[in-house]
Amino acid sequence: MTIHILPPELANQIAAGEVVERPASIIKELVENCIDAGATQIDIDIEQGGCKLIRIRDNGCGISKSELALALARHATSKITNLDDLEAIVSLGFRGEALASISSVSRLTLTSRPQSQTDAWQVYAEGREMTPIIKPASHPVGTTVEVLDIFYNTPARRRFLKTEKTEFSHIDEVIRRIALAYPNIAFNFQHNGKLVKQYRVSQSSDPIDKRIVTVCGTTFMQKAIKLSWQHDNLSINGWIVAKTTQEPMQYFYVNGRIVKDRLLNHALKQAFQERNKSSIHSTDQTLSYIIYLEVDPHQVDVNVHPAKHEVRFHESRLVHDFVHQAVVMALQQIEQQTEQLKE
């Protein structure tokens, strides 16, 4: 065997292995792009659990005709330019991989119109023949990405797709998670031509409360302990339910990005265990929470995992203790209120 550089389409398909696990991962990447584009309305249409079709339309900034083909190229992004930017990420995307990866394992069409253009244009790329074709189209300001036949050219991956119902529920969960973090964006979700979920923007002073009620139900909100604290560059907001009869809902966001983080889970769990004697003791299995942590982007590294599920804090101990303290304080407050009620 000789050493040789892989052809770009194969390199893209290998990269797709990291971010495109199933239809839900495509939806996550595409919706994150809409959010980065400043959209306030995002429509998600899928067919057959996303395996047949995924169509995502937004009213964001759009992509100019001259950049359409580039958007599909690997390592092409408008979100960072240098190392300094990488060290303080403020957008959800930055790797310039998603569209290239998705288009290498599906039939992808990108249609877009920025405010500055009177007409829309469309670019199409299919699997191995990666030469993009550009043609005129009709579209309001914003972007639509259509993804057909996922893994049509990678049979080994296609075999891992589950039933329509399973893929649908993964997608539903991805949309719930995103909707919880962006109460100022409206989402419409259609499956096989039927509107299945609609997350509207509430005009009230607390749109997040309304969004949580829509996503997690009124019981969650009624039982929830409110968390809110700020210190130096850190701020935390959220809701915790100590004991739920429902399936626990656990959502932790760092700068608008959902993360799975052991450090943060540990901080939460520890705070609850310490207050164990209180009337609202709980084990982590029955703990439900929605927590939003805001950190100076210089203090957190999001470039840890291709799918960006993980983050690393520069001062992890400090963040841990901050979260821990915020939860302890919220629990103490609740205990005091319960005591007062008894008196």
Residues near ligand ADP (CB under 6 A) are 29, 33-34, 37, 58, 60-63, 71, 76-79, 93-100, 143
Q: How far is the CB of 29 from ligand ADP (least distance, A)?
A: 6
**41-47 and 186-191: which strand pairing?**
parallel
Q: How far is the CB of 60 from ligand ADP (least distance, A)?
A: 5
* Contact between residue 134 and residue 70 where contact means Cβ atoms under 8 Å apart: no
Spatial separation of the C-alpha atoms in residues 71 and 45, rounded to whole Å: 22
Residue number with CB closer to ligand ADP (308 or 324):
308
Count of residues that bind Mg ion according to CB under 5 A:
3
Which range, of 20-28, 85-93, 141-149, 202-210, touches Mg ion by CB under 5 A? Answer: 85-93
Among residue numbers 11 through 40, which ones bind Mg ion (CB under 5 A)? 33
Residue number with CB closer to Mg ion (30 or 300):
30
Q: How far is the CB of 99 from ligand ADP (least distance, A)?
A: 4
Spatial separation of the C-alpha atoms in residues 233 and 319, rounded to whole Å: 10
Binding Mg ion (rule: CB under 5 A), the pick from 34, 54, 98, 302 is 98
Three-class SS of 32-69: HHHHHCCCCEEEEEEEHHHCCEEEEEECCCCCCHHHHH
Spatial separation of the C-alpha atoms in residues 341 and 321, rounded to whole Å: 30
Sequence-distant (≥ 6) Cβ neighbours of residue 60 within 8 angstroms: 34, 36, 37, 38, 39, 142, 143
Residue number with CB closer to ligand ADP (103 or 154):
103
Q: How far is the CB of 89 from ligand ADP (least distance, A)?
A: 10
Q: How far is the CB of 260 from ligand ADP (least distance, A)?
A: 20
Q: How far is the CB of 233 from ligand ADP (least distance, A)?
A: 25
Phi and psi angles of residue 258, each rounded to the nearest 5 degrees, phi first: -75, 135
Sequence-distant (≥ 6) Cβ neighbours of residue 33 within 8 angstroms: 92, 93, 98, 99, 143, 145
User: Residue 60 touches which of ligand ADP, Mg ion, none (CB < 5 to 8 A by kind)?
Assistant: ligand ADP
Residue 93 interacting with Mg ion (CB under 5 A):
yes
The residue with its CB nearest to ligand ADP is 93
User: What H or E segment, with its residue span, contains residue 156?
Assistant: helix 155-158
CA 293 to chain CA centroid, Å, is: 15
In degrees, to the nearest 5, what angle opens at C-alpha 144 toward C-alphas 141 and 147? 170
User: Residue 256 touches which of Mg ion, ligand ADP, none (CB < 5 to 8 A by kind)?
Assistant: none
User: Residue 71 touches which of Mg ion, ligand ADP, none (CB < 5 to 8 A by kind)?
Assistant: ligand ADP
Spatial separation of the C-alpha atoms in residues 273 and 31, rounded to whole Å: 37
Q: How far is the CB of 187 from ligand ADP (least distance, A)?
A: 14
By CB under 5 A, name the binding residues for Mg ion. 33, 93, 98
